[in-house]
Amino acid sequence: MNYEELDILYRSRKTVLEILKEDGYDTTTYEKFGPWEIEAMVAGGQTALTMDLKRTADAQPTDIKRCLVVYSLQKLKQRLSTFLGTLRNDTEPKIDPLTTEVVVIVLEDVADVFHAAALNEWINNKLRIRFFKAHNLLFDPRTHVLVPKHTKMPASEHAEFMSKNYLKKSQLSFIKFHEDMIARIMGLVPGDIVKIVRPSAASGTYEMYRVCMP
């Protein structure tokens, strides 16, 4: 592996940890590393890059308590089904879709086959899985000046929101599951609602809402 790829793995790993820390995970165990540690991990086999994180006690309440971050540094598209089967069945401790989500970091483009695999895992196994190309995680895209603030609405508030605004979810604008980078960063699944706060010349800011769709 060349220096450029090692640098990408180093920088993207820092971004992943920042994203997961903001999402309420305890990242303390994995925060202290440098480029040379990344090189040593890669030399020791890609499983050395795996991270198994738990939510902090004061994180926002959710059923998902664990995030498993795994790496695939070789081409994954042609062996994706085998990889997912092994991930579900052979991971220790066992992955429980009700409490565990999975992040997969690759070095190839995340194309339709990965979007379809993520949706298939959600529909058939209720497993929340996200695929990211390391090159696209050199920074958190949500911090870009042109990206408005996105906030996921707790599921417990959906019914009240719909009733108050005389809406059905089908009437909301869509945000595409997994294909939309922000939806993927936030770990949205079909049915989730996200509030987006945009700047407004007239009122300062205005709110809009989108529902995650397959």
Residue-wise pLDDT for 6-46, tens only, equals 999 999 999 999 999 999 999 999 999 999 999 999 998 88
pTM: 0.93
* Encoded tokens for 204: 């300062």
Computed on alpha carbons and rounded to an integer, the radius of gyration of the chain in Å comes to 18
CATH architecture type of domain 3-137: 3-Layer(aba) Sandwich (3.40)
CATH architecture type of domain 141-213: Alpha-Beta Complex (3.90)
What is the reported pLDDT for 1?
Answer: 81
Q: Do residues 97 and 125 touch, judged by C-beta distance below 8 A?
A: yes
Query: pLDDT band at 106, cuts 50/70/90?
Result: very high
What is the reported pLDDT for 62?
Answer: 81
Query: pLDDT band at 65, cuts 50/70/90?
Result: very high
Assess whether pLDDT exceeds 90 at residue 202: no
Domains 3-137 and 141-213 share a fold: no
Q: Which residue has the higher pLDDT, 100 or 63?
A: 100
Q: To which H or E segment does residue 108 belong?
A: none
Average pLDDT value for the chain: 94
Contacts of 13 (CB under 8 A, 6+ apart): 33, 38, 49, 105
Ordered by start, the domain boundaries in the chain are 3-137, 141-213
Contacts of 23 (CB under 8 A, 6+ apart): 59, 67, 187
Helix spans in the chain (H)? 3-22, 35-43, 80-90, 112-125, 158-164, 181-186
